[in-house]
Structure 1
């Protein structure tokens, strides 16, 4: 019998209590799923970083910790977590992110806001450029960034992707290194941020890098709030940045008195770009447990030295 401990908020338990058992059975696994296993008997921990388990020391038989979130910055630095840690790469989360990013990219590309909010009797006949004439840069080419970059490329946008390690994606110009970052941002008209949050990526959009963008550029950030220097962005909105659509922030919920709320060139969405979907995530969890029991490599293991 495999013992799996579910360590996440109370709100998440009913969904996973329903979706995980059939996923385990489909993978040929017999799993005792509970929220109350004795620590020394647990084989796997299915964990949200804000879940009840914060000290992993007692889990002496645990073979892996399977993160329920795509982001691991809130758990990877936990010094008691010495077991292998796997990120959540959930097809449902990926599809949701692609849909949100494409939706807001097209909104800015087509200039929809002027017509949605401009019902003032003015007949506006400004035509947008074709997608092929609108360079887009995606910062971060992990599972989410790669999927968004390739979907935007399939719509005709010339897409440049940048990541800390060199990647290769069909239809996407892929760059890495500091020099590559400068090249990726120079002249970009739409920038999408989907990087992991590390010391190296904090404030990656700052006064210097924002100045590289084309005049009238758009920022779309569904990644992590601290990827952007807030003060530098507000200043850039008065110079070369036309609008920023932000789904993530340094502090959440975004404080009521934060200048982003009332800034006419900022759209705030409440961290809703995408989420882990229990039905599809359950299949991912079951596959990693199957791999662990079969002695196969776990999928999506976190590199502690990189932080993702």
Structure 2
């Protein structure tokens, strides 16, 4: 039983000890030294090269190294009929919620404004809303959105979530579909994007979306860079339609040195660190799905390629 490990951003040295300890019978092969491709049963990947998975004739299961699978589904040569599972790790969920809470609080407490005044030596108290008066909208009603929503609500914020299809979750206000999209935006002084990247959600953070937010709203994007139309964000900030943005993901990563986001006074840039995969907690979850497949049991977090998640 052999597994191919291929990640464009992560080191196999972080993963191999955990995989070997928990499933010693699993032979882990590191791309490009994969040996006979016909011997590969499983592929654990992040941004694999187009055609790589199709070159494995006996591939049984594709496992994503992260919560998203757009990096797999984008492959035009993706082999049909091979199940794909995404990684849902409570550690990553907690990490994402920490990031969202940190950035919501920074925006809520006007951190950028106070920092600008500090640089100019200006002592000036700004009017401050209570958390209960601050509408926070979360795009994405999956595990990440629900966890962040619950924790923000626990801090007193007025939280609502939006997803493509109706969903009822105890304690959380939900919106769904095209009709409710504008309603969610209209109440969101801080908008958080945690959506999966699909053809329907690509470019969803655009001028039309920003126009439906309250004037002076702020944006947090911790999902995918392709959700955002960069030029529309810059225009919205220039016109004061938006007051600030926090961005953890970008069309090109690393973000090019000359990109205007780097030096924009109303944009906070972080290098895709909101919820990094953590091998000690993720490896058991990944191997559980391999054991499930071997035993003919239902897989956890299997992806519907037609839906994109």
**TM-score, normalisation: structure 2:** 0.90
Q: Which residue of 2 aligns with 1:61?
A: 58
**CA distance in 2: counterparts of 1:250 and 1:3, whole angstroms:** 33
Q: Give the counterpart of 1:80 among 62, 78, 81.
A: 78
**CA distance in 2: counterparts of 1:121 and 1:10, whole angstroms:** 41
Q: Which residue of 2 aligns with 1:113?
A: 112
**What SS is found at the alignment partner of 2:174?**
strand
Confirm or deny: 8 A CA contact 1:55 1:81 kept in the other structure: no
Confirm or deny: 8 A CA contact 1:141 1:162 kept in the other structure: yes
Q: Which residue of 2 aligns with 1:146?
A: 146
**TM-score, normalisation: structure 1:** 0.91
**CA distance in 2: counterparts of 1:246 and 1:57, whole angstroms:** 34
**CA distance in 2: counterparts of 1:252 and 1:267, whole angstroms:** 16
Number of matched residues? 302
* Unaligned 5+ runs, structure 2: none
**CA distance in 1: counterparts of 2:7 and 2:231, whole angstroms:** 34
**What SS is found at the alignment partner of 1:170?**
coil
**What SS is found at the alignment partner of 1:244?**
strand
Q: Which residue of 2 aligns with 1:214?
A: 214
**What SS is found at the alignment partner of 1:34?**
strand
Confirm or deny: 8 A CA contact 2:9 2:46 kept in the other structure: no
**What SS is found at the alignment partner of 2:23?**
helix
If asked which structure has higher relative contact order (CA below 8 Å, sep 6+), I would say 1
Q: Please, which moves more after superposition, 252-261 or 157-166?
A: 252-261
State the Cα distance separating 1:103 from its structure 2 match: 0.3
Q: Which residue of 1 aligns with 2:6?
A: 7
**CA distance in 2: counterparts of 1:12 and 1:148, whole angstroms:** 29
Change over 3 Å in CA distance of 1:81–1:49 after alignment to 2:
farther
Q: Which residue of 1 aligns with 2:134?
A: 134
* 1:136-166 CA-partner distances (Å, limit 9, x unpaired): 0000122222221221112111111111122
**CA distance in 1: counterparts of 2:241 and 2:289, whole angstroms:** 46
